[in-house]
Amino acid sequence: MTTTPPVRDAAPPTAAEQPVPEAQRTTPRDAFRAVHCGDGLVRCPWALGSAGALADHDTDWGTPPADAHEHFAALTLELVDSGLARWSQSARHGSWYLHMAELRPERLALFDDDDVEDLLVNAELIRNRAKIEAVIHNARVCRQWDVPQWLRVFEEAEVPPTAEPPGNALDLPDSTAASRRLSQVLRSRGIVLVGPVSAQRWLQRIGRAPGHVAGCHRLPAAAPA
């Protein structure tokens, strides 16, 4: 005699099997939005890449220069970081100030060939002769520039007012039409080794172009992420 096995109720779906409500679904792009950190602050996602990146993000990135020296210093940091993995050199920024006359153009302009040779054996710096010589050259070009002269560079390049921050770091461009014009204007003034990408990052570093994402605590008025 054949018996029929009893019918058992199906096991309820596990948490992994439960359908995710549409409002809670994420995409790979969501990894590039502002991040809620353990200290209670909301930051750009790249700030968590290293201790140097975090310090740069929280203290310098997106800060308007207070004087002509800070314009030059910000431009120099983007020059020496150019061509390298983004944010990988942030921890070295203090060393450039320490070993290159606090990045003050009037003092850097006095550096000579012996100073260059000393810098090239300094393990705390990026030992790239072209970059070091470009920094000194640029210092000689703009050592007497004041803030109005720096601002005229932006005017000549037709740099627009700062736009609203994007909600996603992927929407921060590497270069723009304005940064391409700015690179050309700087070159016409004698500044070397600053291409459109470095020019764009300089604009972001000094708050002339969006450099943070919406929701970041470093924005003057944080918008919802």
CA distances in angstroms from 46 to 21, 37, 40, 173, listed in the order given? 28, 12, 17, 14
Q: Is 69 one of the annotated binding-site residues?
A: no
CA distance 145 to 69: 9
Q: Is 216 one of the annotated binding-site residues?
A: yes
Q: Is 142 one of the annotated binding-site residues?
A: no
Q: Do the beta carbons of residue 220 and residue 166 sit within 8 Å?
A: no
Number of neighbouring beta carbons within 10 Å of residue 112? 8
Residue 54, CA atoms < 13 Å, CB-side half-sphere: 9
Q: Which residues are annotated as a binding site for Zn(2+)?
A: 44, 57, 212, 216
Enumerate the known binding-site residues. 44, 57, 212, 216
